[in-house]
Structure 1
Amino acid sequence: MCGRFSITMPSDEIAQLFEAIPDNNLPDVPNYNVCPTVDIHVVTGGSEAPRRLTAMRWGFVPGWYKKSNDGPLLINARAETIAEKPAFREAARQRRGLIVASGFYEWTKTPEGARAPWYIFARSGAPLVMAAVWQVWTGPDGAAQRTCAIVTTKANETTRHIHHRLPVLLEPAEWPLWLGEAGHGAARLMRPAPEDALQVHRVDHAVNSNRAVGADLIKPI
């Protein structure tokens, strides 16, 4: 899975990277400890729509939820079942997006049972672009909210010793297909990243707190 990540690129650079029109309500960056339920940067597009860089709540809310916390917090969607799960299947066909990150965190257990955090990032130093699905959810007050989930798949050899799941990571040539700009066939993109694509290092346990902030969170120890 992916339960936390960092984003250090300025919003205007993200918009330029994706050739997307930026909205005015984008979250503040940098953020070295992006947690579920906060607003994050998401790129949307489609065959008949220009790319937009917009803010969405990280935590997909299905249309039948009466409240945003009416059921499980859906921050990830499994690639293997995304086309079948009622919560995600329509979004997987019609509402796919891209989430950019500088890296993300996963945890292992120490022999003493403590949570040991790891930071996972691109070996090339480039930003990671994660596949996502999104949904507009209307609350009981009639207000519409855009919500999203990160699509995950099996881990590769580089990360399997840390966690058995990994976000679906997409290369620039794959973005149009995932966004629906280049026809059908996005399902074939939902596979583990190449073995040499990622690098990992241990980071300080300070990131175990969802209130922790600052660049020191991603420094190796």
Structure 2
Amino acid sequence: MCGRYSLAGPNPANLRERFALGDEVPVRRRWNVAPGDDILAVTTSREGERRPDILRWGFVPFWAKDPKVGYKMINARSETAAEKPAFRDALSRRRCLILADGFYEWQPRAGQKKKQPFWITRADGEPFAFAGLWGTWHAPDDSVLRSCTIITTAANDRLTAIHDRMPVMLPSAHEEALWLDASTPAPLVQALMATLPSSAVTAREVGYAVSDARHDEPDCLDPPLPPAETAEPTLF
């Protein structure tokens, strides 16, 4: 799964240029994006024009009775999204880009109570887009919630020791354009939900600060603290 990610690059202007965001949406650094947050994305209008957008992470189907269901739909599996009632219409007509520069995964370790967090990025360190789906939910009070989910796939060989799943990281602007285009044939859409090769990603351990979903500060990317040294007994 993908349950936390980052958009921590120091220069928002680079992100605006890379994804043609213009000045329409706020761009701020995020070290620990969590489910339920409002996140930076690119969607399309009914006419198919790209538009920068802010979406709530956690997909809420239009037929849901309670928006809290979104916390259970932060990810959609690439293998089954076309079959799931919650996602199949969005996969056909409402695909989006979710902008990031890394994501986190936690590895269980023998003899260690806490799982070890890793920060996983492109090998070249560049920002990228997750393949996402979005939708609109209308509340009983007529307010509107626009929400999204991140597509996941099988992990590549480099990451499988950390976790068996990873988000779909679209490899270039070409694939991003195909993903957004509602006229892209279904077989090609399915092919776009591919695992990024091992050579294209890198992973490093980070400290436990990121494990608190409420903590969104630069130290989320700090390396782990060294193990506490055992003090030698004092002899009298």
1:113 is matched with 113
TM-score, normalization: structure 2? 0.86
8 Å contact kept, 1:66–1:140: no
Q: For the residues of structure 2 that align with 1:131 and 1:6, how far apart are their CA atoms?
A: 15
In terms of fraction of residues, the more strand-rich structure is: 1
Task: Determine the C-alpha separation between the residues in 1 that align with 2:176 and 2:46.
Answer: 12
TM-score (norm 1): 0.92
Aligned-residue offset at 1:55: 0.4
Cα deviation, residue 29, structure 1:
1.5
Contact 1:108 1:117 in 2 (8 A): yes
Cα offsets for 1:172-211 (capped at 9, x unmatched): 1111110016632221111100120100011001111112
Contact 1:23 1:53 in 2 (8 A): yes
Q: Which amino acid aligns with 1:194?
A: P
Unaligned segments of structure 1, at least 5 residues:
none
Alpha-carbon RMSD: 1.9
Paired amino acid for 1:147: S
The number of residues matched between the two structures is 219
Provide structure 2 residue ranges, at least 5 long, that are not aligned to the other structure: 225-236
Go from structure 1 to structure 2 and tell me whether the alpha carbon gap of 1:137 and 1:18 turns closer, same or farther (over 3 Å shift). same
Distance 1:70 1:99 in 2: 20
Contact 2:124 2:200 (C-alpha < 8 Å) held by counterparts? yes
Question: In the alignment, is the contact (CA less than 8 A) between 2:35 and 2:71 conserved in 1?
Answer: no
- Aligned equivalent of 1:214, options 191, 214, 217: 217
The amino acid of 1:19's aligned partner reads A
Whether 1:18 and 2:19 are equivalent positions in the alignment is: yes
Query: Among residues 189, 194, 197, which one is paired with 2:197 in the alignment?
Result: 194
* 2: CA distance, partners of 1:139 / 1:23: 26
SS at match of 1:175: helix
Q: Aligned to 2:135, what secondary structure does the other structure show?
A: strand
Q: Distance in 1 between matches of 2:58 and 2:153?
A: 18
Query: 1:205: which partner in 2?
Result: 208
Structure 1 vs Structure 2: percent identity of aligned residues? 39
Deviations 1:43-68 (A, max 9, x none): 01268332111100000001111120
Query: Could you say if the C-alpha distance between residues 72 and 58 of structure 1 is closer, same or farther in structure 2, counting changes exceeding 3 Å?
Result: closer
